[in-house]
Amino acid sequence: MEFKQTQKIKSLALQAREDFENKKINDKTLAKLYNSYNKLDNVSKFISSSKKLFPKLNCGLASVYLKHKLKSGRIIHGYYKNNKHTFLSLSNNFIIDITADQFGGPRIYLGPLQSPWKL
């Protein structure tokens, strides 16, 4: 991936992360995005609870929002260390993760799929 494209992706990832941290994302938008990924009966309650815990227990929600911001990517159900974790794949071996810090990892990671991430 070329430098300019990587910088743009990193900038959008930082913006997405800050949107969660500053509670700038509309709940209805998150509910719509999440329901297209994982249909829940009471998605509003899930969104409300999740936003209070960010980044903990927000990897799926953050990944669908990040995919929406980037307009590309594939949601991956994998692991960070030995923890079940969801992150976004941008190509076969290139991922982006804005919630690995819930497990002691980086706040934002953009790079190859490598340990401690795994499928």
| Domain chopping of the chain, boundaries | 3-118
Question: Is the overall model pTM greater than 0.85, yes or no?
Answer: yes
pLDDT digit string (tens) for the chain, length 119 residues: 687 888 999 999 999 999 999 999 999 999 999 999 999 999 999 999 999 999 999 999 999 999 999 999 999 999 999 999 999 999 878 999 999 999 999 999 999 999 999 99
Dist CA 64 CA 110 (whole Å): 16
Q: How much is the pLDDT for 97?
A: 98
Q: How much is the pLDDT for 1?
A: 65
